[in-house]
């Protein structure tokens, strides 16, 4: 059974936020680097980054060394904030009026049925929203890495130099897990 799905735009936005959360906030990541990391359409990525800027989650920095930085601490950005920026408010029940049309001969009951089903899904949407609001970007990254402090990587560095730093970080994580 197919269910409600977030768009690919959300996944890309989550990756952008993660890149920026692991970057020194005083050093913007260039849009070229972000595009290189995520691939895909540059035009589409610009639209996603614009949504994140408008939502106040990231900042656009102009100039020769410009690019993008995270606007707030990763501890203050929830997964719901990213969903809201990319998808808008989620309403899982479409309420196309089908119940009203199919059961039009039973008007009072039909209206009540539509109201009840809308309320059930509204409550489910609120629970989903509450759960995502509890999950900060910081928590997702720190749980993933098993680190309480998010290590910073300069994503603007050459692939080789950055790879050495990442390998060192992974060795440290593996040693601490033993």
pLDDT tens string 123-140: 999 999 999 999 999 999
R_g (Cα) of the chain, nearest Å: 21
- Residue 114 in domain: no
- Residue 22 in domain: yes
pLDDT digits (tens, 9 = 90+) for 47-86: 999 999 999 999 999 988 899 999 999 999 999 999 999 9
Please state, in angstroms and rounded to a whole number, the distance separating the CA atoms of residues 49 and 164.
Answer: 28
Domain harbouring 20, CATH code: 1.10.10.10
CA-based nearest residue to 44, from 88, 89, 86: 86
- Residue 126 in domain: no
- Residue 106 in domain: no
Please count the residues of the chain: 178
Q: How confident is the model at residue 90 (pLDDT cuts 50, 70, 90)?
A: confident
- Residue 41 in domain: yes
What's 78's DSSP letter? B
pTM: 0.83
Q: How confident is the model at residue 109 (pLDDT cuts 50, 70, 90)?
A: confident
SS3 147: coil
Indicate the number of domains in the chain: 1
CB of 36 within 8 A of CB of 122? no
Residue 59 structural domain: 8-91+136-177
Per-position DSSP letters for 5-64, written without gaps between them:
---HHHHHHHHHHHHHHTS-TTSPBPHHHHHHHH-S-HHHHHHHHHHHHHTTSEEEE-ST
- Residue 3 in domain: no
- Residue 14 in domain: yes
- Residue 37 in domain: yes
């Amino acid at each position: 059974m197919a269910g409600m799905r977030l768009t690919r735009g959300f996944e890309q936005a989550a990756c952008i936020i993660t890149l920026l959360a692991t970057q020194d906030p005083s050093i913007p990541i260039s849009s070229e680097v972000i595009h290189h990391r995520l691939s895909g359409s540059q035009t589409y990525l610009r639209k996603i980054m614009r949504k994140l800027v408008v939502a106040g989650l990231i900042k656009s920095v102009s100039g020769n060394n410009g690019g993008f930085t995270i606007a707030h601490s990763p501890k203050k950005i929830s997964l719901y904030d990213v969903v809201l920026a990319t998808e808008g408010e989620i309403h899982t029940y479409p309420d196309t009026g089908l119940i009203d049309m199919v059961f039009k001969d039973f008007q009072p009951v039909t209206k009540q049925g539509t109201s009840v089903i809308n309320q059930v899904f509204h409550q489910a949407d609120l629970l989903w929203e509450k759960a995502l609001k509890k999950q900060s970007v910081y928590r997702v990254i720190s749980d993933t890495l098993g680190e309480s402090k998010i290590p910073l990587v300069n994503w603007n560095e050459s692939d080789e130099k950055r790879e050495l730093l990442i390998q060192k970080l992974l060795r440290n994580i593996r040693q601490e897990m033993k």
